[in-house]
């Protein structure tokens, strides 16, 4: 095959190259971002996403440069005094650290890498912004949807923001229990990197307007009121990644045609055969042991001292695993399970893994 299971930038969705070819034929890269044609590409991407993911029409969709930018902008626009973070790996930690750098006095509930969180955590009184990393890309822990959806009732005043960078479009969130969610296109949407997608409801817009009225710095061209005023006209505050927005609309259309139910059930099938293989394998184990929090979209194998050998074997068959992240570089391999990865590719991957003894 010749496929990358690196969690991101990852395998391109198989239609992307054709869409790029058509984009060049149709002059998309030279399109003025103030033209009607751009506005329809913007509308196609945003309404398509809402349909695909079941996002209520009252939510707005904005485009940033990266999910990293969304980390910063979300703290800047949504936290005046304090954000609360659930930290269980490198990426949830980085979100927390960004809030520290921005002096928003963040509070963290911490758990060990590969672990989830107890439900009897103690949050500060009246938390303002609760930041949850749905899928910790570094270790393959996924927070259960029931855990994420449980905050609304306990903390009705808090804004709840979910980093779903490496899980969407798989999870079926209840958007009445979430105020904001974000991802970037080079993971589950199988596109070239360089575009972040930030989805917010009206409460987020109101909060940022409150901060603005209080004279708090919420940024300039990428603050929520400016995003909102532009998005109402299917426009962006700056010259954006026009090609990326066009491609997102096209890929979402492909996903809609395939059906979100099919995408979800195939994701579950592929995850099941890989976890099964890891569990029964003499040389490796799932790093995340507790089944309820095993990510379906980033599956991490604890290969210990066999890591390099397994990696080399896969590479010799043109299969590229993702390296372990950070401290786990020498003992883990990570396997993205995105819509771009077919069932056949997962069956072959599992076959290769079973050949290693």
Positions in the binding site for its own copies (CB under 8 A): 4, 6, 8-12, 16-17, 20, 24, 27, 29-33, 64-69, 71-72, 98, 101-103, 184, 186, 191-195, 217, 219-222, 237-244
Minimum distance of its own copies from residue 66's CB (angstroms): 4
Residue 142, beta-bridge partner list: 135
Nearer to its own copies, 44 or 222 (CB): 222
Residues 6+ apart with CB under 8 A from 66: 184, 193, 194, 195, 196
**What are the φ/ψ torsions at residue 197 (nearest 5 degrees)?**
-120, 125
Tell which residue, 151, 147, 96, 89, has the closest CA to residue 118: 147
Minimum distance of its own copies from residue 121's CB (angstroms): 26
Tell which residue, 306, 294, 304, 305, has the closest CA to residue 335: 294
147-150: long-range contacts (C-beta < 8 A, 24 or more apart)?
A: 147/116, 147/117, 147/119, 148/173, 148/177, 148/178, 149/173, 149/174, 149/177, 149/178, 150/119
Minimum distance of its own copies from residue 62's CB (angstroms): 13
Minimum distance of its own copies from residue 58's CB (angstroms): 27
Minimum distance of its own copies from residue 239's CB (angstroms): 5
Which two structure tokens, joined as six digits, stand for 141? Answer: 């822990």
Nearer to its own copies, 93 or 281 (CB): 93
Nearer to its own copies, 150 or 192 (CB): 192
**What are the C-alpha distances in Å from 284 to residues 42, 331, 338?**
45, 10, 22
Nearer to its own copies, 201 or 230 (CB): 230
Minimum distance of its own copies from residue 317's CB (angstroms): 16
d(CA 344, CA 228): 42
Nearer to its own copies, 102 or 205 (CB): 102
Nearer to its own copies, 142 or 184 (CB): 184
Which two structure tokens, joined as six digits, stand for 355? Answer: 């050949």
């Amino acid at each position: 095959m010749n496929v990358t299971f690196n969690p991101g930038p990852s395998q391109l969705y198989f239609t992307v190259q054709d869409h790029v070819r058509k984009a060049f034929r149709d002059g998309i890269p030279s399109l003025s971002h103030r033209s009607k044609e751009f506005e329809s590409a913007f509308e196609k991407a945003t309404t398509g996403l809402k349909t695909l993911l079941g996002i209520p029409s009252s939510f707005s969709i904005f485009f940033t440069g990266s999910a990293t930018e969304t980390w910063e902008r979300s703290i800047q626009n949504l936290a005046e005094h304090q954000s609360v973070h659930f930290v269980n790996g490198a990426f949830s930690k980085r979100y927390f650290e960004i809030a520290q750098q921005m002096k928003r006095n963040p509070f963290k509930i911490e758990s060990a890498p590969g672990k989830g969180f107890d439900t009897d955590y103690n949050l500060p009184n009246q938390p303002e912004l609760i930041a949850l990393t749905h899928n910790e890309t570094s270790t393959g822990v996924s927070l259960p949807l029931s855990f994420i959806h449980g905050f609304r009732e306990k903390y009705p005043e808090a804004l709840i923001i979910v980093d779903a960078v490496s899980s969407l479009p798989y999870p079926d969130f209840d958007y009445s229990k979430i105020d904001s969610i974000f991802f970037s296109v080079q993971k589950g949407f199988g596109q070239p990197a360089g575009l972040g997608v930030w989805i917010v409801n009206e409460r987020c817009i109101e909060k940022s307007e409150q901060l603005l009225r209080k004279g708090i710095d919420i940024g300039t061209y990428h603050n929520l009121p400016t995003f909102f005023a532009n998005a109402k006209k299917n426009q962006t505050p700056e010259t954006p990644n026009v090609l990326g927005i066009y491609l997102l609309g096209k890929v979402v259309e492909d996903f809609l045609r395939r059906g979100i139910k099919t995408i979800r059930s195939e994701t579950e099938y592929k995850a099941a055969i890989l976890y099964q293989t890891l569990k029964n394998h003499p040389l490796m184990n799932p790093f995340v042991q507790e089944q309820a929090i095993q990510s379906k979209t980033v599956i991490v194998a604890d290969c210990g001292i066999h890591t390099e050998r397994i990696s080399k074997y896969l590479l010799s068959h043109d299969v590229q695993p993702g390296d372990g992240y950070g401290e786990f570089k020498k003992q883990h391999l990570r396997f993205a399970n995105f819509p771009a990865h077919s069932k056949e590719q997962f069956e072959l991957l599992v076959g290769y893994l079973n050949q290693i003894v």
